[in-house]
Structure 1
Amino acid sequence: MYSGPLVFSQVMDHLPLHTFRRCVARYQGERYVKQFRCLDQYLAMAFAQLTYRESLRDIEACLRAQQSKLYHMGLRCTRVARNTLSKANERRDWRIYADFAHALIRIARPLYADEDLGLSLDNTVYALDATTIDLCLSLFPWALFPATKSAAKLHTLLDLRGNIPTFVHISDGKLHDVNVLDILLPEPGAFYIMDRGYVDFRRLFTLHTAGAFFVIRAKSNTKYRRRYSQPVDKSGGVRCDQTIVLTGVDSASTYPQPLRRVKYHDTPSGKTFNFLTNNFAIPAQTLADLYRYRWQVELFFKWIKQHLRIKSFFGTSENALKSQIWIALSVYVLVAIIKKRLEIRADLYTILQILSLTLFERTPLIQLLTNDPHITEAPGIPNQLNLFDNLTGQ
């Protein structure tokens, strides 16, 4: 019979704990802490994410039922009280878990760098969008949106190779989506796919001067003048491919360079789209296909809202909310890392469902997630004599 570590411990073994300790030291996360360390807090919150716990009382009850296994899970405390966990979420700097999540992202991205997008394009492709998380006004008065209710916004830059979030900014609901472009550090040569909400030609020109490319839907009131048109094959949906200059009162001065306008008709939906980009090299059809991949970020938001604990929160302060979201995202990235490292074919949803029911079992993780017939018996101790063999030899 296999007597190795718990499944939870095997999952957490993929964490770079030396990096975690540096993040804790950077923000003095364990100053005046005697028992409940930051790692204990992270493991308890990760347990809540993997097992779909609904409240602090729920976490406390489940961990108390498995109190004899807390040490084997990596928790150095004898029990996890909901009051202790609540205070830790409220007081310990959320930037500890934000920095740690970014460290996991840096590990995950090279693992998915060779993912095929289905396009003849070697550039990195990002999708930028935001989603709103509705909150209760009486519990979260600090997150007004706009004045009569509360909400938090999750601004996310998603690497479409592997659907790994590379940039996340959590704000209250009042922050407009386009303002995130002021925080974003453009990557030269990368493509940024955005919806009409990000049309701000001053900020788009900043992307252009940084050497990055953007693909964005044009607003209906965008004023421009056509310089010349390229011949197009209209059998594929592309209706025109033009080089234009902006003629609006503000846009002409904030974006003085020519732009490329591609008009595309989507036959299945019957809709016509006008795309603007600063890239004049890729084919017009590839440009339209790139924008179609922007929907991956919408699917990402839908997925994490359904399968991570980021809609019901264990604390009401801004620090507690951000800590929970960053830990949830780090768990998502951790599972993505395990999927690649162990070469698991199952999708992330299936992996999370399996883990949610087996965290306290002592089964090899690779066997659990792949159903491979691995050896489940614990290896014998080589220097241990067999009593019955010795009796037989006498």
Structure 2
Amino acid sequence: MFSGEYIFSQVMDHLPMHTFRKCVERYSGNRYVKSFNCFDQFLCMAFGQLTHRESLRDIEICLRAHNPKLYHIGIRGGISRNTFSNANKTRDWRIYADFANALIKIARPLYSREDLGLEMKNTVYALDASTIDLCMSVFPWALFRSTKSAVKLHTLLDLRGNIPIFMHISDGKMHDVNALDLLIPETGAFYIMDRGYLDFTRLYRWHTAGAYFVIRAKSNTKFKRRYSRPVEMNKGVICDHTVVLTGLNSSAAYPKTLRRIHYYDSETEKHFN
């Protein structure tokens, strides 16, 4: 008979429980709770995430199948889909948001020296958004189109360790570029974005804050070349120019120079500007 500690329990032992209890107390998460407290809820959600469960019912069935082991992995409350659902609905989400931020602060220094394969010591972030389709009858508040609902998850990822630094859930209609207004740019950091975030007014604000951005230009972007740099065309770099914007609105929004690089990927036979 197995008498050691379960792997899930070993992973959860690394959690800073003092910090978790402070988060729960801050928002009175366990007030009037007789069973299935906030930590039970957290363990169930963590179990569902680590084991790729697809729904509350899936989590409930899987945990109930191992009912004799629940006490040994830290779950003291009974597992019921109704109780689980009510906990997710009524408890303050800020408990887990604050705890997630605390875990991120612990994790980031562990990957601060991870090699990205680039000759730079600056922090490099990737910013993107994902649309998550929802059932309209269940989520009418998240109306996206006439026939379906959706939410959008805006995520800023630290590429050293692939750690999410910022996450914001909005309705599906929120445009990607509006997420730039929610972020405070870090001086000296590089932000990699797709062309959905191309807004020269916002990007100039990031430039004045001392941040760098890498973004693809739209096909109708108007600019004029100031000077060129030598390139190694055998490595796919077609040109490396310093340019200024010449469009009526874009030149007023971003009066400084920009660096434009044209790259050709021989494997996919695609051009990137």
**TM-score class, shorter:** over 0.9
Question: Gaps (5+ residues) in structure 1?
Answer: 275-394
- Residue 59 (structure 1) aligned with residue 48 (structure 2): no
> What is the SS of the residue equivalent to 2:128?
strand
Tell me which residue corresponds to 1:266. Answer: 265
SS in 2 for 1:239: strand
Q: Is the helix fraction higher in 1 or 2?
A: 1
**What is the aligned partner in structure 1 of residue 73 from structure 2?**
73
**Structure 1 residue runs of 4 or more that deviate by more than 6 Å after TM superposition:** none
Deviations 1:312-365 (A, max 9, x none): xxxxxxxxxxxxxxxxxxxxxxxxxxxxxxxxxxxxxxxxxxxxxxxxxxxxxx
Say yes or no: does 1:16 pair with 2:13. no
Distance change >3 Å, CA 60–CA 194, structure 1 → 2: closer
Aligned pairs for 1:1-394 (under 5 A) are 3-77=3-77, 79-274=78-273
Between 1:29-38 and 1:181-190, the stretch displaced more is 29-38
Amino acid at match of 1:93: D
Q: For the structure 1 residues 249 and 139, does the alpha-carbon distance in structure 2 shift closer, same or farther, using more than 3 Å as the test?
A: same
CA RMSD, aligned part only? 1.8
Q: 1:146 to 1:3 in 2, by over 3 A?
A: same
Looking at structure 1, the residues matched to 194 and 42 of structure 2 have their Cα atoms a distance apart, in angstroms, of 35
1:41 aligns to what SS in structure 2? helix
Query: What displacement does 1:144 show?
Result: 1.4
Cα distance in 2 for partners of 1:127, 1:47 equals 27
Counterpart of 1:83, as a letter, is N
Shift of the alpha carbon at 1:202? 0.8
How many residues align? The count is 273
State TM-score, norm by structure 1.
0.66
Moved more, 54-63 or 14-23: 54-63
Q: Following TM superposition, by how much is the alpha carbon of 1:266 offset from its aligned partner in structure 2, in angstroms?
A: 1.9
SS at match of 1:28: coil
Match of 1:350 in 2: none
Work out the CA distance in 2 between the residues paired with 1:61 and 1:241.
57
Please give the alpha-carbon distance, in whole angstroms, between the structure 2 residues aligned to 1:254 and 1:185.
19
- 1:233 and 1:67, CA in 2 relative to 1: closer, same or farther beyond 3 A? closer
SS of the residue aligned with 1:110? Answer: helix
Q: Secondary structure at the match of 1:63?
A: helix
Alignment TM-score, normalising by the size of structure 2: 0.93
Which amino acid is the alignment partner of residue 112 of structure 1?
Answer: Y
Q: CA deviation at 1:2?
A: 6.3
Query: Does the C-alpha gap of structure 1 residues 52 and 224 become closer, same or farther in structure 2, counting only changes over 3 Å?
Result: closer
Report how far residue 38 of structure 1 moved.
0.7
Give the C-alpha shift of residue 270 in structure 1. Answer: 1.9
Greater Cα shift, 143-152 or 168-177: 143-152
| 2:144 match: secondary structure | coil
Structure 1 residue matching 2:10: 3-state secondary structure = helix
Report the secondary structure of 1:145's partner residue.
Answer: strand
Deviation string for 1:273-323 (max 9, x for gaps)? 21xxxxxxxxxxxxxxxxxxxxxxxxxxxxxxxxxxxxxxxxxxxxxxxxx
* TM-fit CA distance, 1:145: 1.3
Q: Distance in 1 between matches of 2:142 and 2:74?
A: 35
Q: Which amino acid aligns with 1:16?
A: P
Moved more, 128-137 or 264-273: 264-273
Distance of aligned partners of 1:61 and 1:118 in 2 relative to their CA distance in 1, 3 Å threshold? closer
The one-letter code matched in structure 1 to 2:31 is R
Counterparts of 2:254 and 2:21 in 1: how far apart (Å)? 45
Q: Summarize the Cα distance change of 1:30–1:144 in structure 2 as closer, same or farther, 3 Å threshold.
A: same
Cα 1:54/1:222, change in 2 over 3 Å: closer
- The Cα shift of 1:170 comes to 1.4
Relative distance call for 1:68 and 1:237 in structure 2 (3 A) is closer
Deviations 1:167-205 (A, max 9, x none): 111112111111111011111111001111110001111
Cα distance in 2 for residues equivalent to 1:58 and 1:149 = 24
Q: Distance in 1 between matches of 2:106 and 2:45?
A: 21
Q: Identical aligned pairs, as a percentage? A: 70
Cα distance in 2, alignment partners of residues 2 and 137 from structure 1 = 47
Task: Choose between structure 1 and 2: higher strand proportion.
Answer: 2
Larger Rg: 1
Q: Greater relative contact order (Cα 8 A, min sep 6): structure 1 or 2?
A: 1
